[in-house]
Amino acid sequence: MKLLTADQVKLGFIGLGNMGSRIARRLLDHGYRLSVYDLDLTKVEQLAQWGALVAGNIAQLAANVDVILSCLTNDETVQAVYEGRDGVLRGARPGTVVIEMSTISPGASRELHLLGARRGMEVLDVAISGSTPAAEQGALTLLAGGNEELFRAAEPIFQAISKQYFLLGGPGSGTAMKLVVNTLLGVGMQAIAEAVALGEKSGLNRERLLAVLSKTAVIAPAHVGKLAKAAVHDYTEQFPLRLMNKDFQLILDAALQEKVSMPATEAAFYVNADELGLSPEEDFSAVIKRMEEIAGINHSVVTLAS
């Protein structure tokens, strides 16, 4: 299989959200010919200014590219985009490659592999691990499942958008690994929230507590920046509560299917859902605030300006 280099293939990108738009921009910066589609025309127009071609619909995009990438919200959206009446699977030619990058269930990924194969298309599930700044810098970690030959052929694309990329196994392995990673992300943040509440109730200065905690070996890199923002009560969304909530649901659904007990994850999901009901537009680190409130620690008089 030939390498999927900028001079060899035309790309299509569906789903220009926080991550998708940044990944698409990286591909343009690396010389790829890119067609884009999103329901939000503002996002499409922004990419058009950087040289992207605008597809009028999904079927049109699929019919005119060699490789389709997508970064979508959930299982249902992926199913609609690929299996819908004017979806990818109806518009794409045999031989088209699909790199599906959404955080969805492993079962949905495996189903997409099967449907693609029936139409002569090859699919990789390539889940994304990393923040929006990492996407801008091309420093993501990619977790892939599927055919090894295709994975190797897609390396030029991966090199444009990521720092490291791994093949975990067959279809669905990439999305399964993403659930493993996000288990640690979500449960780790809940552990931090409980530890911070304990420290404050024990008389520690909040700002100093958070600053010192961020310097210790027990805080993962993905959590470090959250502590600095929490110090000034800034829970502006980067990785929204609602997406962490969705991922918790996927994790626990997978655990139920595989008969794996995950009591810590269930507890973290409960607190996440509690805060989501109160402040749906916050970052997932807002569980720090939630645990402080549960502990009776009142920061309501504190503002970002202070």
Q: What distances in angstroms separate CA 302 from CA 18, 297, 298, one per listed residue?
A: 29, 12, 9
pLDDT tens profile 196-237? 999 999 999 999 999 999 999 999 999 999 999 999 999 998
Q: What is the per-residue DSSP string for 61-122?
A: HHHT-SEEEE--SSHHHHHHHHHSTTSHHHHSPTT-EEEE-----HHHHHHHHHHHHHTT-E
Q: Length of the chain in residues, anyone?
A: 306
Position 303 scores a pLDDT of 40
pLDDT tens profile 88-123? 999 999 999 999 999 999 999 999 999 999 999 999
pTM > 0.85 = yes
- Using 70 as the pLDDT threshold, list the residues of the chain that sit under it: 300-306
Q: In this structure, are residues 87 and 113 in contact, taking their beta carbons and an 8 Å threshold?
A: no
* Contacts of residue 42, Cβ cutoff 8 Å, sequence gap at least 6: none
- How far is residue 166's CA from residue 53's CA, in Å, rounded to a whole number? 30
Position 299 scores a pLDDT of 77
Position 304 scores a pLDDT of 41
Task: Note the Cα 236 to chain centre separation in Å.
Answer: 17
Give, in degrees to the nearest 5, the angle at Cα 236 between 234 and 240: 130
Work out the widest C-alpha separation in the chain, in whole angstroms. 65
* Domains of the chain, CATH where assigned: 10-171 (3.40.50.720), 177-294 (1.10.1040.10)
Q: Rg (Cα) of the chain, in Å, rounded?
A: 21
For residue 52, the 8-state DSSP code is P
For residue 57, the 8-state DSSP code is S
- How far is residue 232's CA from residue 80's CA, in Å, rounded to a whole number? 41
Position 250 scores a pLDDT of 97
Position 300 scores a pLDDT of 60
Residue 134, classed as helix, strand or coil, is helix
